[in-house]
Amino acid sequence: MGTIVFLILFPMIVAFILLVVKSDKGRDVIVIAGSVIIAAMSIVVAIQFAAGGGDYFSFNGEVIGYIMMAVEAGLCIYICITSAMHRKWLAFIFAIIQTPLIMWFEFSRGHGIEVESNLYVDRLSIIMILIIGIIGTLIAVYALGYMKDFQHHEDEKGNKDRRPWFFFVMFLFLGAMVGLVTSNNMIWMYFFWEITSLSSFWLIGYTKTEEATNNAFRALIMNLLGGLGFAVGIVILGIVFQTVEMSTMLLIGSVYGDLVAIPAAFFAFAGITKAAQMPFNSWLLGAMVAPTPTSALLHSSTMVKAGVFMIIKLAPVLGMSNFAGIMTMMVGGITFLFASCAAISQVNAKRVLAYSTIANLGLIVACGGVGTAGAVWAGIMLIIFHAITKSLLFLCVGTAEHHIGSRMIEDMDGLFNKMPRLAMCMIIGIAGMFLAPFGMLISKWGCMVAFVDSGNVLLIGCICFGSAVTAFYWLKWMGKLTAVVAGEESIEYDVHRTETFVHITLVVLVVLVCLLFPLLSSYLLVPYLEITFGGLAGGIMSSGNMLIMVIMVAVIVLLALFGFGKSKKPTVPIYLAGANTGDNRTYYGSMQKEVQFALRNWHMEKYFGEHKMNLIGDVLCVAMLVIGLGYMIATLVSLMGGIA
Amino acid sequence: MSAAYVTKSPWVVHYDGSSCNGCDIEVLACLTPMYDVERFGIINCGNPKHADVFLVTGSVNEQNKGIVKQIYEQMPEPKVVVAVGICACSGGIFKDCYNVMGGVDQVIPVDAYVPGCAARPEAIIDAVVKGLGVLQAKRDAMVKAVDAPAEEVAEAAAEEVATEEKKAGAVPPIFTMAEIKVNTMDFLKK
Amino acid sequence: MIIKAIISVVAFLVLGPFLGGLLAGLDRKLSAKMQRRVGPPVLQPFYDVGKLFQKEKQTPTRFQDFYVILFVVFIIASGVLFFMGGDLLLVIFTLTIGAAFLIIAAYSSNSPYAELGAERELLAMMAYEPMVLITVIGFYMYGGSFRVSEIMAADNMAFLPLIGIFFGWVFILTLKFRKSPFDLSMSHHAHQELVRGATTEFVGRTMGWIEISHWYENVFLLGFVFLFFANGTAWGWIIGIVVALLTYFFEVFIDNCFARMKWQFAFKSAWVVAVVLGMINLFVLYICF
């Protein structure tokens, strides 16, 4: 238990130290040391609890509850004041409703409810802790170098150095995330949930430009709406079922699935907002204005992962073919399809990544909604692979942006020559996102089997068409990166050492996870699923298939090590209708004038325009949410009527 | 010498220098069911990087000499060049124009000449088939010179071609340049 | 069981290219006959590849070969997985990754023609992928297994229950074989607007390998057609093989009857077919089984 509490509190302590340290050097030392300790501790936790399958800790104390409540009240007042100052009344209203609601509940009913254990660790939390502890801290280390360059630009604009604040929020975020994935008491979880919402608000609004502030408030409003759902869920859970514990709720759910589905639907709704599913995807896209480490953090190891963690956690209840489950899986499936489609029309690399995140989260959410052991297996695999590859890709784009001065994919022409190492990292990242033997497709395999087993034909349609679209937008980007453009010099000499270190580490992690995922599956996932679902219902990849996948990755890695770029054939100029001037980039036009050609990608705005895709997705998802939640509320009302 | 597959599958790239399109039409006529050059495995592939036979129609001028040269250079060995039509052979009636350099052989080595205005499909097919002998010879030279440096390969190829020609007792061009001149004069008289 | 799998894998590895080459030769001969030509010898594709292997070695960039090798390896691997009775989803993913590497290989040259071909190939991939996945899922929903060996050993022919999916599959075969009206990305015949599309920058032996992989791929794709008729009896075998061959000749026929369509049509029609034939068939399966 000590290690868990340490993992929650230590990042917060580091955060407060970082708030007061102003020198670059001091910050470097503290961030690196803190990161090493957090990463090491998360591995310790993994080793400590993995074999035993985890534990529940009572960790009782009135004081802690009161501290949390005080902090919550403080945050509520802070949100109210800030939103009033910026005239964002929606945020004001959401904040002013939910915190008093929770407080009223705690004071009036909360005391009567016996909480057996507030904290717990199981194999799913171990996986999440590893992701937060390793990926999250790697991003923090990367941010050191990145923020130096970033501040350099800010200095030119005359903006003051607010990096202590940035790193403070980052570490606070990590601590809150660990708390979130280890809380068994839903009120505690709600507390951490609100902190992550607020942290992301601060991180997105970091630059304090008008756009940043607006987008930060959009994120805050949507997450507060989710928080409201969370609070309502807690109240229903407490009043109807006399418990605020996740474990108890799941236990009751295994018997009274239809009833527990009512609070579960509200929790799932909270998860859906946090996981940026349609119609709430705009906050994650707006978050792209923030410095790249923020995006990486929000997308890979924290924030959105909290949302899907919630839904994966609820999977056993959602999987009992009730409306909450159907709502969740349809929202996930629809989001996957339309977010993937929208990604095609994007030219901005960060927006492509954002849409792909939304799409992948959609898959995870759908997996949670299907809620069979196989689906959850696929969902957790997706969480793992997505965290590693997406952080790698974001951090690569960040470095590329600082060196080529653009985050547009079209400007990445010749990156293979300009920044070979970085381009290779990106290629590996993209391969990890969709190519077969690499991670993501393993999980997609699992999803497909799970969806077919669920018998939901619409969901099958979503994944069939969505997968095809996914391959399109990744491959066209990958093609751009692999294109060898002659005559470009390497400009890779002044990349920060920390950035390169993080890139390489993540690449190694991608390859390692791809090679070792069968072990991951059999030592962490399968035991977790067996406990949660009481045996496996199938739909999990057979060991033979896993072996084939691993062999494929090994073949690619070996071929790459021995054969990449080692062709001994003489290199000849490309065919430009006989008018190549010899440099492979220009041709003789009319009057023998030298003309440079440029190659551009295909965006199919007419078919996959962002606006259109969002509109369709939003309408469908809103319909699903209204039907799902409406049905739940109706059930609840009739139930209460019955009791009265 | 092993049989080179290249003689069974000569793929063609066709370039129109400054032809009046008469010869081009005849080149295309070869592909029609009437002549059906695919019988011999000949495909008009339109890409020098896949081609074995370079068909040039029309004369070479200052504007296109670089292109003719580059297309030739981009064809991997073994390869042959066939000049189709009198303009490609010698410049034809445009020979003395201020912008015309003359036949294709002013820029790249030509292996077979097809005179005529326009060249007849039969003659074009005949020339390509003649070119196959040259292809075979060049391929044999390539095999022989696997370990030899590049210049030697080129020399060996040239020698090989020469000896093959002697052996065959015929000159690879269907007509000699002298004959072509006579033909041209005939044409001009008409 | 294992011996049977090994035999079929070896048979695929050895006979696959011969069968594929022969089919390609028959295709050309048949096309010629349809156009009232004599046409090349049936063995012509073998001569072509033989010649390509005898050409000078060249490459536009020293990175291209790596991608091409992976393309060849994964296309063959997908066939091997299929014929050893492996998991259909795995087979499809392996095929996809093979196709992806071909596209990457074309991109890597940074040649305008190759890149445009690659992008069109990418579009074709997006167009046919849903139907491919639906086909696999259809087999699973009907037979309850993704494994080829189990589908082969099933008692009932999957053809009738999957009739919509069957025709959907035949439709996208035109895209997969790159036949008119959907030979957008590269074409074997005559000129096209993109020179040779995605294969423009592959020279000599590289091109030869690509041809050979296409033979493997074609045999494997026809194997899929065969799968619709397998029911563990000799009749299943006979009908399957006959229909597979008929399908191939049907594709040749279509090839000769149509001009090349625009990409918009290729994309839209493939998706409409996937929805109308594929999804409705799945829905019917869901209701009936």
Q: Give pLDDT, residue B168.
A: 44
- The band of B148, judged by pLDDT with boundaries at 50, 70 and 90, is low
| Minimum distance, in Å, between the CA of residue A574 and any CA atom of chain C | 6
Q: Does A81 touch chain B (CB under 8 A)?
A: no
Residue B163 pLDDT > 70: no
Q: Does A579 touch chain B (CB under 8 A)?
A: yes
The structural domains of chain B, with segments of one domain joined by +, span 5-178
Closest residue of A to B71, CA-based?
A578
Mean pLDDT score, A63-87: 88
Q: Give pLDDT, residue C45.
A: 93
**Inter-chain contact A455–C63, Cβ cutoff 8 Å?**
no
Q: C63: which chain A residues are within 8 Å (Cβ-Cβ)?
A: 482, 484, 564-565, 567
**Inter-chain contact B66–A578, Cβ cutoff 8 Å?**
yes
Nearest CA-CA partner of A399 in A77, A40, A97, A147: A147
Among left, alpha and beta (phi > 0; psi -120 to 50; other), residue B91 is left
- The band of C204, judged by pLDDT with boundaries at 50, 70 and 90, is confident
Q: Does B28 touch chain C (CB under 8 A)?
A: no
| Minimum distance, in Å, between the CA of residue C252 and any CA atom of chain A | 26
CB-CB contact of A428 with C250 (8 Å): no
- Chains A and B form CB pairs within 8 A to the count of 21
**Inter-chain contact C196–B41, Cβ cutoff 8 Å?**
no
Mean pLDDT score, A234-251: 88
Q: Does A578 touch chain B (CB under 8 A)?
A: yes
Chains in touch with B (≥3 Cβ pairs < 8 A): A, C
Contacts of A644 (CB under 8 A, 6+ apart): none
**Inter-chain contact C47–B41, Cβ cutoff 8 Å?**
yes
Closest residue of A to C201, CA-based?
A574
Residue A397 pLDDT > 80: yes
**What would the two tokens of residue C166 be?**
């069957």
Partners of residue A588 on adjacent β-strands: A594
Nearest to B74 among A572, A588, A592 (CB): A572
**Inter-chain contact C38–B41, Cβ cutoff 8 Å?**
no
**Inter-chain contact B70–A579, Cβ cutoff 8 Å?**
yes
Nearest to C37 among B4, B5, B36 (CB): B36
In whole angstroms, give the CA distance from residue C44 to residue A384.
51
In whole angstroms, give the CA distance from residue A234 to residue B149.
82
Q: Give pLDDT, residue C238.
A: 93
Q: C28: which chain B residues are within 8 Å (Cβ-Cβ)?
A: 38
Closest residue of C to A548, CA-based?
C90
Q: Which of A568, A575, A584 should one mutate to test binding to chain B, selecting the residue with the greatest count of B CBs within 10 A?
A: A575
Nearest to B41 among C44, C190, C201 (CB): C44
Q: Does A547 touch chain C (CB under 8 A)?
A: no
CB-CB contact of A412 with A483 (8 Å): no
Kindly report the backbone phi and psi dihedral angles of residue B93, in degrees, each rounded to the nearest multiple of 5, phi listed first: -70, -15
Closest residue of B to C188, CA-based?
B45
- The band of A474, judged by pLDDT with boundaries at 50, 70 and 90, is very high
Residue B116 pLDDT > 60: yes
Nearest to B76 among C36, C188, C203 (CB): C203
Pairing between β-strand B11-16 and β-strand B53-57 as defined by DSSP bridges: parallel
Nearest to B67 among A572, A573, A579 (CB): A579
DSSP alpha helices (H): ranges in A371-407?
A: 373-404
**Inter-chain contact B49–A575, Cβ cutoff 8 Å?**
yes
- The band of A547, judged by pLDDT with boundaries at 50, 70 and 90, is confident
Reported ipTM exceeds the 0.85 cut: yes
Q: Give the N- to C-terminal CA distance of chain C in Å, as an integer.
A: 29
Chains in touch with A (≥3 Cβ pairs < 8 A): B, C
Nearest to A457 among C89, C127, C282 (CB): C282
Per the prediction, chain A carries an average pLDDT of 88
| Helix/strand/coil percentages in chain A, nearest 5 | 80, 5, 20
**B5-178 in CATH: which number?**
3.40.50.12280
Number of Cβ within 10 Å of residue C280's Cβ equals 14
Long-range contacts of C39-43 (CB under 8 A, 24+ apart): C39/B36, C39/B38, C39/B39, C40/B38, C40/B39, C40/B40, C40/B41, C41/B41
**What would the two tokens of residue B36 be?**
């059906």
**What would the two tokens of residue A482 be?**
């692999």
Q: Does C191 touch chain A (CB under 8 A)?
A: no
**Inter-chain contact B74–A575, Cβ cutoff 8 Å?**
yes
Q: Give pLDDT, residue B175.
A: 47
Residue B162 pLDDT > 60: no
Nearest to C196 among B36, B45, B77 (CB): B45
Q: Which residue has the tokens 């020339």?
A: B127
**What would the two tokens of residue A349 be?**
């690399």
The least confident of A127-141, B150-164, C114-128 is B150-164
| pTM greater than 0.90 (yes/no) | yes
More confident residue, A446 or A470: A470
Contacts of B27 (CB under 8 A, 6+ apart): B14, B44, B55, B57, B84, B124
